[in-house]
């Protein structure tokens, strides 16, 4: 079927188009050039409307064990937001940690067409993929977590060479069906199992004698040498600790120019100034990001209200359990592989720390110059549920609105932020970069995040509105692979997205030592650990899309 979107104002940073009135043609799920013979079968009048590609959330906890622990932990939260079935959609629950089906619907209803789970434990990757397989409409993918697994740390202690590390990393990416590599509190999750309660960048794991700095260097090198597009995805040391801004600056310096993505950097941008010994480090962090072109970041914005934090960082989550609200929490050590911690949080605008966290996130957004190197996230659900993105976009695009909200937060926090003096307002093109073109480029998604011919027809059409929260909350149309899935902010049709992966090369002999390790120390046979393609595709809904490596 040939579809035409007529007369919309197109924001397509990937194609170098910035607010130009343009027709878009779709055929067989792809965007095509204007056809010679226009047998348009379906035309959508987009005059007066804004057209962007489907949005991509490059860091959102939508699949895997800790998310399901968070769900199980919070029946009272689900009861606030029951979601009934319709003729075309399944029932479920929403709010902080929505059910999988509702996750897909609500993302699509905001114009998102892809989401990436950033913390796939190798041993829990099956679950991550099974959950994501039950998220309709969205494309998905995962970053596999390494750095606290005993196999890797044993390799470092044994001074294995970089080539051996690369083979192990590539093998793990294959086994777990991932598109990137993440490290969480490098070596710290492991150190917590040895009863260490903190681990600074240059502090040694008490058993292995290796430091987070070494782990980061080795993994970032592996990712680069394997040709994986997405730089090493780093959840740094000392999450949430006042003064961790210095750790973050040292981490940037310590990576020595290698590509590195620092995730939810808001939680790692804290100083120790002021009477309450908690201050914003956003300016220093933003300056370092601006100066170091090898660094990309996402923000992990905090927004006020009830949510739940679900993280692989068992060490820091255990330390933060005293802030649990409601007061219940889970910490797990997992399979000599990693760990997790789930702590419900209620961020309050009248709490000094929470209010300043809110301001630090916004300062970071506004002080980092290059929208291609910063991404819009709340670290769903950790800073806030993803459904708050339209509100966040308004805070970025509308200075008056931002300052109105700023005037309502804890007065001491107002004094500790420069937010009121920052005049920057994000443009639609900058929003499109952060949430579309930039995200696709960072992850290395071929044919996604743009609107030129040949791209997948993942398209969102909004009605321009001075209130950009209203605009981004309710797209007029969303197309996924050329099929109309949302009209006026409601799902009208569902389909199944693909799972994006990369497949870097490795020396198959890597399995020799791994097999022996699995037999001696783990609880599963190596052959049973590896996820096969048919586990993703056998139900007839799932598919795998392999993306190219960097040349």
Partner 1 sequence: MTVIIEVPSPFCGVGTDDLTIQVDGVTLKVTENGCAVNTPAFEQAIGDTSPRIAGKAVSLQEAVSKAASYLKDTKQPVIGGCATDVNGMRALLSLADRCGAVVDNMNFTAARNNFLALQDSGWMNTTLAEVKNRCDLLLVVGTDLESFAPRFFERYLWVQEAMFLDDTNQREVIYLGKAPSGIASTSPAGQQPKVVTCDNESLPEVVAVLRALVKGQPIRAEQVGGIAVSELQAIADKLKAAKYGVVTWAAGALGYTQGELTVQVLSEMIKDINRTTRCSGLPLAGKDGDQTANQACGWTTGYPARVRFARGYPEYDPYLYDTNLMLANGEADALVWVNAFNTKAVPPVSDLPTIVIGRSGMTFTQEPDVFIPVGTPGIDHAGHAYRTDNVVAIRLKKLRESGLPSTAEVLSAIEHALKET
Which residues sit at the interface with partner 1, rule CB under 8 A? 65, 67-68, 71-75, 78-79, 82-85, 90-93, 97-101, 121, 123-124, 126-127, 130-131, 134, 150, 192-195, 207, 318, 324, 327-337, 342, 520-525, 527-528, 531-532, 534-535, 538-539
Contacting residues for 330 by C-beta, under 8 A, at least 6 apart: 69, 73, 340, 341, 342, 343
Nearer to partner 1, 99 or 378 (CB): 99
What's the min distance (Å) between Cβ of 84 and partner 1? 4
What's the min distance (Å) between Cβ of 551 and partner 1? 35
Cis preceding-peptide flag for 326 (omega within 30 of 0): yes
Nearer to partner 1, 91 or 162 (CB): 91
Nearer to partner 1, 123 or 201 (CB): 123
Q: What is the DSSP string of 62-127?
A: -SSHHHHHHHHH-HHHHHTSEE---SSS--EE-TTS--HHHHHHHHHHTTEEEEEEEEE-GGGHHH
What's the min distance (Å) between Cβ of 12 and partner 1? 35
Residue 141 pairs in a beta bridge with: 116, 500
What's the min distance (Å) between Cβ of 132 and partner 1? 10
What's the min distance (Å) between Cβ of 460 and partner 1? 26
Other beta carbons less than 10 A from residue 416's beta carbon: 22
Nearest in space to 114 (alpha carbons), one of 137, 86, 95: 137
What's the min distance (Å) between Cβ of 181 and partner 1? 20
Nearer to partner 1, 70 or 218 (CB): 70
What's the min distance (Å) between Cβ of 472 and partner 1? 26
Place of tokens 């040709």: 227
Question: Rg for the chain (alpha carbons), in Å?
Answer: 22
Measured CA to CA, the distance from residue 62 to residue 78 in angstroms comes to 16
Do residues 281 and 288 touch, judged by C-beta distance below 8 A?
Answer: no
What's the min distance (Å) between Cβ of 98 and partner 1? 8
Nearer to partner 1, 318 or 348 (CB): 318
Nearer to partner 1, 309 or 364 (CB): 309
Nearer to partner 1, 67 or 438 (CB): 67
Nearer to partner 1, 80 or 418 (CB): 80
Collapsing DSSP to helix, strand or coil, 137 comes out as: coil
Phi and psi at 160, nearest 5°, equal -65, 150
Tokens of 536: 């993703």
């Amino acid at each position: 079927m040939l579809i035409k979107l007529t007369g919309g104002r197109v924001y397509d940073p990937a194609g170098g188009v910035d607010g130009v009135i343009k027709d878009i043609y779709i055929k067989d799920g792809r965007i095509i050039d204007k056809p010679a013979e226009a047998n348009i079968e379906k035309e959508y009048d987009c005059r007066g409307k804004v057209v962007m590609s489907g949005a991509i959330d490059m860091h959102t906890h939508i699949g895997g064990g800790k998310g399901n622990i968070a769900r199980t932990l919070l029946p009272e939260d689900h009861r606030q937001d029951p979601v009934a079935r319709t003729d075309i959609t399944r029932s479920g629950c929403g709010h902080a940690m929505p059910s999988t089906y509702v996750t897909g619907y609500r993302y699509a209803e905001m114009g998102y067409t892809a989401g990436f789970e950033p913390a796939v434990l190798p041993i829990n990757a099956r679950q991550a993929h099974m959950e994501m397989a039950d998220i309709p409409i969205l494309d998905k993918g995962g970053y596999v977590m390494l750095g606290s697994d005993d196999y890797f740390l044993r390799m470092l202690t044994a001074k294995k060479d970089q080539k051996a590390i690369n083979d192990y990393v590539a093998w793990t990416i294959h086994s777990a069906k991932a598109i990137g590599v993440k490290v969480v509190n490098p070596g710290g999750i492991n150190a917590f199992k040895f009863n260490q309660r903190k681990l600074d960048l240059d502090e040694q794991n008490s058993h292995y004698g290796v430091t987070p700095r070494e782990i980061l260097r080795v993994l970032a090198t592996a990712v680069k040498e394997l040709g994986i597009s997405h730089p090493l995805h780093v959840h740094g040391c000392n999450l949430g600790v006042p003064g961790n801004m210095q750790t973050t600056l040292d981490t940037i310096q310590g990576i020595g120019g290698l590509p590195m993505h620092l995730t939810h950097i808001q939680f790692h941008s804290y100083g120790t100034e002021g009477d309450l010994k908690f201050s914003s480090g956003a300016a220093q962090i933003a300056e370092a990001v601006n100066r170091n072109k090898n660094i990309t970041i996402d923000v992990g914005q905090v927004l006020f209200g009830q949510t739940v934090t679900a993280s692989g960082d068992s060490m820091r989550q255990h330390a933060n359990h005293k802030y649990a609200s409601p007061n219940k929490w889970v910490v797990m050590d997992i399979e000599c592989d990693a760990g997790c911690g789930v702590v419900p949080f209620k961020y309050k605008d009248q709490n000094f720390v929470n209010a300043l966290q809110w301001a630090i996130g916004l300062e970071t957004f506004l002080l980092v110059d290059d929208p291609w190197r910063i991404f819009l996230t709340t670290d769903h659900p950790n800073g806030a549920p993803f459904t708050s993105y339209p509100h966040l976009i308004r805070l970025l695009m509308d200075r008056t609105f931002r300052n109105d909200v700023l005037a309502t937060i804890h007065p001491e926090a107002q004094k500790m932020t420069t937010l009121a003096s920052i005049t920057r307002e994000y443009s639609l093109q900058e929003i499109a970069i952060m949430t579309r073109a930039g995200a696709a480029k960072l992850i290395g998604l071929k044919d996604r995040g743009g609107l030129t011919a040949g791209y997948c027809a993942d398209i969102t059409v909004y009605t321009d509105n001075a209130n950009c929260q209203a605009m981004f909350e309710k797209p007029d149309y969303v197309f996924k692979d050329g099929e109309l899935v949302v009209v006026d902010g409601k799902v009208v049709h569902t389909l199944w997205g693909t799972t994006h992966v990369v497949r870097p090369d490795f020396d198959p002999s890597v399995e020799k030592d791994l097999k022996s390790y699995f037999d001696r120390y783990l609880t599963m046979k190596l052959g049973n650990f590896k996820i096969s393609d048919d586990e993703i595709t056998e139900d007839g809904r799932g598919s795998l899309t392999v993306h190219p490596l960097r040349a």
